Every structure is written in structure tokens, then in C-alpha cells.
């Protein structure tokens, strides 16, 4: 009884603060849904964790007094005006390195905004009115709200988390996914800009507009009825028995399928050594270093090509919504990520992707389905805990090398089963002219060379990924030896009914890109000879490439 009375007294003290927390939560997210009404290509996924956090932030902020409350609301309204204006004009959130242009190119932005005000009149009201309403309610209830200086400490700590993280993490952790709430992206982007972004130059400023010729897109007479693309995570071809018989037998199901003449497999080079670079490059079919103009116009984006040729498009990811960054969200009909089905993915992992695939009517019209794996990311042993039967390989000693490699191969054993189930299911649907494709965003370093682990490093161990094609349609001729991500994406485009021609570099040259696409980054250039053998030509940076070409 005492505890109940204490709770009721506490509730009575803070009930208006709780209400202000609820209002804050609703009103700062409301503009996103207003934008969806005006701009049909803008998409947001429900993020219950962020909703929970922003509610408690609003609760503690309401305890700080109406003047401090108004000051913070002014700050948020400023950030949201820039963020929502960028979304309205460019149909994507602003990244940390583009924020500086708002101040250096203010006159141009102002003149363009005035010219287009009829189209984007709703931006300022959507950005400002929610915070004005919050300040009004805070002032109206100022005598009813509980006040505490300790709440201000909580608010400062909350807002300080992202800037502190920016001191020790790279740009890719702060890139804004198009499916994340705009206020969340604003906090991330402005935090990085204020801490580290002011002294960084956007790659867009280093590469001239006419540096690369535009790709040529030709529409074909034929297209497939079904294209299923599986994008793996950290999957190294050299650690799969199908591609490398010297490792443990971790791909028994795929090797059974390999007996089918419709099954083709090759080693391939990934577009990058980090997911945040590799996925945008792959889905936008970027080949050359620094050609990020293609991330703006989406002219060869695979989802866009699919939509324009009458496909229903799907992106189901066991990973979080960061995977949706610049992959072509406006052209995807249905998106599911780990945030929108967190309990399912946590319990079932890639098994849930199988279930999502089975829920689709694959014979109804033309479908382009992309399934994004979370396994085989480290820690590898957690990828198969829900399936103890895949805990097969045991380390021969207690060394990190032995433990990491056997856990990795067990994770591959699990993915082998998942892929086989998916291929068999697609095959059993008997959809005429259908294709199933598997590759990975990048590979994984597992103690070789030099005792290193992980990826994000421009070494071959982080580049060589699998390519698998189960083709129940037209015959295709593949190049000898290694494939490349650019060629795999081109093959997907062909199945979707398009031929993409790149006039910038010969077919036998290709590139693997480093991290942080919006900053000057390193890349490696390779050449493939007529026998399919690959050799490294050079390692360079985008800025040096531009300087050398300008000097000629």
C-alpha cells in the first residue's frame, strides 16, 4: 500500500511532464508523416527504440523550465528546417558534409528556395510549427510542470552522446538512412558536422561535374518474371568449401545444387570493403572512383530500373535501416528491416527472411526481391545459436585464429542451409524465366595476413566474395575467371530488362573502393586478362586521380 501511494504521489507531480514527453514524441515525428503525404517517394520505417528514447528526452526537457525548453526547441527547429528542406528538394536527408554548403552557398540556396516556394511551401511550417506548439504548451503549463536542474544534466548528456561518438567514429556511422526519422538524422548529421565535419571537404567538391561521362541505359525486349538477389554479409568465397576445397565442408547443400546445370558459381571482387560503401555502389552500378554523381541521379539504380519496367520491388533486411542508405528507397515498394521486425529477426535471424520470401506471391506479375543477410558478421558464433546443429566445427586449440575461423565456418554452414532453402523454394514456384543471385557486400579477414581480422581494409582477403547464379531463364555468357560487383549488378540489370554501357573505362579494368564515399578515399585498381587472371595495377586516392587527370 505504501508503495502504491508513493507511486501515485510521484505520478501526480510529473503527470504534466509525462504528457509533455508524449507531445514531444508525437510532434517531432509528425513532420515526417506530413512529408509522406506531400512527397510520395519519402519513406520512413517505424523505430520503436527511438520513439522510446525521444519520449523520455521530451519528458526530462520539460523539467528544465520554459526558457531553456524554448532554447532547445529553437535549436531543433533550425536543424529540422535544413533537414526537411533538403529532403523536399533532393528527396533524401542531408549528410554531415553537405551541411557546410548551407552556409557557404546560402545566397544560391535562398534564391532557389524563393523560386520553388510554390512546390515546397510546407517545409517551414512542418519544421517550425511543432516546436512552436511545444513551447506554447510548455509556457501554458509552466506552473504545473515539475522542475529539476538534474533534468538539464540528463538533457545535456542525451545530446552529448552523438558529438562524443563523433570524436572516435568515422563518417559512415553518421550517414543518414532515408528510412530513419528526420529528427534522428538531424541529430546525427549535425553532431558529426559540429565536431569533425567543418574541416572536411566533400568529395563532391573534389570531383568536377564532367569528370565522368554518363552511362548509357538501353532497354531490352526481354526481361525476367522474377529476380531474387541475396546480398550476403562479410561472406568470403575463400572460406566456403564450394569455392575453396581446402577449408572445412561448410557448403554441403550448395554443392548438391551445384550438380544442377542451372547452377553457376564464381569468385568475385566486391565493390568495396565496407557495407556502407559497397551497397550504394552495387545498387547504383558505380564503377569508377569518386563517381558519386550517380548517387544523386539514380540513373542506373537497380530498384529504379525495376520499377520503370513494371516490377514490384522488395527489400527485406536482417540488418538495421542503415543498410537502406542510398540504395534507392524511393523505388522500393516494401521495406522490412530489423527495426520493424526486431523480435522476429532476433529469434530467427535469416530464417525469417525465408518466411518473408514465402509470404510473397512470386508468380503474380514481375517481382524484384532483395534479401539482405546479417550473418556472417562477427561475432560469428552468435549467428547460429538458434540452430545448435550447425555448431559442428570445433577449434583445435585456444588461439584466436582457431576459434574465429571455426566459428566463421559454422556460420557459413548455417547460411549454406538458408541459401539452399531459398533456391529450392524459388525453383519449386516454377516461375518462368526466373533468376536467383547471391553475392556479398565484402569478404572477411580472418587472421591472414598479419593477424588481422574484420574488413574495412583494402587487402584482397576483404574483397573476394562469392557469386552464385541459379538461372531458369535465358542463357548468359559470363567472363572468364573472377566476376566483379559491377558485372553482377549489370547482370541483374539485364535480367530486369536493361543493358547498361559504361563509356569511362575498359571492361577488363575494375576498382575496389575504400570507406566513406563522401570523403576523399583510397581505392585499388585491378586488371583482368583474357584468361581471367587478375592483377593489381595501383592503389591511389580519388583526389590524386583527379589531380593526375587534370595535369595531363
| Residue 533: all three cell numbers together | 587472371
pLDDT average, residue stretch 61-80? 94
413 cis-preceded (ω within 30 degrees of 0): no
pLDDT average, residue stretch 420-445? 96
**Secondary structure (DSSP) of 333-384:** SEEE-TTTTHHHHHHHTHHHHHHHHHHS-TTSSEEEEEEE--TTPSSGGGGG
The ranges assigned to domains in the chain are 2-200, 216-551
pLDDT band at 515 (very low <50, low <70, confident <90, very high): confident
pLDDT of 339 above 80: yes
pLDDT of 273-283, one tens digit each? Answer: 999 999 999 99
pLDDT average, residue stretch 224-230? 98
pTM of the model: 0.90
Q: Is 8 helix (H, G, I), strand (E, B) or coil?
A: helix
| Residue 203: all three cell numbers together | 568529395
pLDDT of 112 above 60: no
Q: Give the distance, in angstroms, between the CA of residue 357 and the centroid of all CA atoms in the same chain.
A: 20
CATH architecture of the domain with range 216-551: 3-Layer(aba) Sandwich (3.40)
pLDDT of 460-472, one tens digit each? Answer: 999 999 999 999 9
The pLDDT value recorded for residue 305 is: 98
Rounded distance between C-alpha atoms, residue 375 and residue 235, angstroms: 8
pLDDT of 366-424, one tens digit each? Answer: 999 999 999 999 999 999 999 999 999 999 999 999 999 999 999 999 999 999 999 99
Buried b (16+ CB within 10 A) or exposed e, 234-243: bbbbbbbbbb
Mean of per-residue pLDDT scores for the chain: 91
Least confident piece of the model among 122-126, 185-189, 221-225, 449-453 = 449-453
List C-alpha distances in Å: 270 to 151, 447, 505. Answer: 48, 20, 18
Amino acid at each position: 500500500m505504501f508503495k502504491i501511494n508513493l507511486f501515485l504521489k510521484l505520478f501526480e507531480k510529473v503527470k504534466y511532464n509525462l504528457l509533455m514527453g508524449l507531445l514531444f514524441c508525437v510532434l517531432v515525428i509528425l513532420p515526417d508523416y506530413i512529408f509522406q503525404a506531400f512527397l510520395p517517394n519519402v519513406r520512413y520505417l517505424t523505430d520503436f527504440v527511438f520513439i522510446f528514447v525521444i519520449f523520455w528526452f521530451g519528458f526530462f526537457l520539460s523539467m528544465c523550465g520554459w526558457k531553456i525548453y524554448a532554447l532547445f526547441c529553437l535549436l531543433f527547429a533550425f536543424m529540422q528546417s535544413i533537414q526537411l528542406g533538403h529532403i523536399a528538394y533532393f528527396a533524401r536527408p542531408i549528410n554531415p558534409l553537405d551541411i557546410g554548403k548551407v552556409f557557404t552557398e546560402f545566397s544560391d540556396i535562398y534564391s532557389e528556395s524563393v523560386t520553388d516556394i510554390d512546390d515546397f511551401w510546407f517545409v517551414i511550417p512542418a519544421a517550425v510549427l511543432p516546436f512552436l506548439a511545444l513551447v506554447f504548451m510548455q509556457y501554458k503549463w509552466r506552473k504545473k510542470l515539475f522542475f529539476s536542474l538534474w533534468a538539464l544534466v540528463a538533457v545535456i548528456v542525451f545530446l552529448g552522446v552523438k558529438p562524443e561518438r563523433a570524436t572516435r567514429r568515422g563518417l559512415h556511422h553518421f550517414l543518414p538512412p532515408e528510412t530513419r526519422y528526420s529528427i534522428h538524422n538531424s541529430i546525427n548529421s549535425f553532431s558529426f558536422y559540429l565536431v569533425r565535419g567543418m574541416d572536411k571537404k566533400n568529395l563532391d567538391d573534389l570531383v568536377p561535374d564532367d569528370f565522368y561521362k554518363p552511362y548509357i541505359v538501353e532497354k531490352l525486349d526481354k526481361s525476367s518474371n522474377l529476380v531474387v538477389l541475396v546480398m550476403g554479409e562479410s561472406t568470403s568465397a575463400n572460406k566456403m568449401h564450394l569455392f575453396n576445397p581446402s577449408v572445412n565442408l561448410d557448403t554441403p547443400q550448395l554443392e548438391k545444387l551445384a550438380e544442377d546445370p542451372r547452377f553457376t558459381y564464381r569468385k568475385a571482387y566486391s565493390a568495396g570493403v565496407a557495407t556502407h560503401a559497397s551497397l550504394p555502389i552495387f545498387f547504383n552500378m558505380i564503377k569508377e572512383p569518386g563517381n558519386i554523381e550517380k548517387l544523386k541521379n539514380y540513373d542506373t539504380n537497380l530498384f529504379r530500373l525495376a520499377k520503370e519496367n513494371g516490377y514490384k520491388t522488395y527489400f527485406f533486411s536482417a540488418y538495421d535501416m542503415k543498410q537502406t542508405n542510398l540504395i534507392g528507397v524511393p523505388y522500393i515498394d516494401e521495406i522490412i528491416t530489423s527495426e520493424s521486425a526486431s523480435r522476429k529477426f532476433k529469434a530467427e535471424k535469416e530464417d525469417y527472411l525465408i518466411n518473408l520470401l514465402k509470404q510473397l506471391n512470386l508468380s503474380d506479375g514481375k517481382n524484384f526481391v532483395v534479401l539482405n543477410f546479417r550473418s556472417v558478421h562477427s561475432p560469428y558464433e552468435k549467428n547460429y545459436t538458434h540452430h545448435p546443429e550447425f555448431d559442428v566445427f570445433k577449434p583445435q586449440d585456444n588461439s584466436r585464429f582457431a576459434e574465429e575461423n571455426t566459428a566463421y565456418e559454422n556460420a557459413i554452414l548455417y547460411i549454406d542451409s538458408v541459401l539452399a532453402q531459398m533456391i529450392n523454394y524459388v525453383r519449386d514456384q516454377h516461375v518462368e524465366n526466373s533468376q536467383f543471385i547471391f553475392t556479398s557486400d565484402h569478404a572477411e579477414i580472418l587472421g591472414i595476413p598479419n593477424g588481422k581480422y574484420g574488413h574495412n581494409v583494402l587487402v584482397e582477403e576483404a574483397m573476394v566474395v562469392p557469386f552464385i547464379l541459379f538461372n531458369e531463364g535465358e542463357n548468359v555468357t559470363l567472363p572468364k575467371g573472377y566476376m566483379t560487383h559491377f558485372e553482377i549488378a549489370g547482370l541483374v540489370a539485364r535480367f530486369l530488362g536493361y543493358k547498361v554501357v559504361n563509356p569511362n573505362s575498359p571492361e577488363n579494368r575494375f576498382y575496389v573502393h575504400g570507406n566513406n564515399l563522401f570523403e576523399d578515399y583510397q581505392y585499388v585498381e585491378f586488371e583482368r586478362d583474357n584468361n581471367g587472371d587478375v592483377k593489381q595495377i595501383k592503389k591511389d586516392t580519388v583526389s590524386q586521380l583527379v589531380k593526375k587527370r587534370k595535369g595531363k
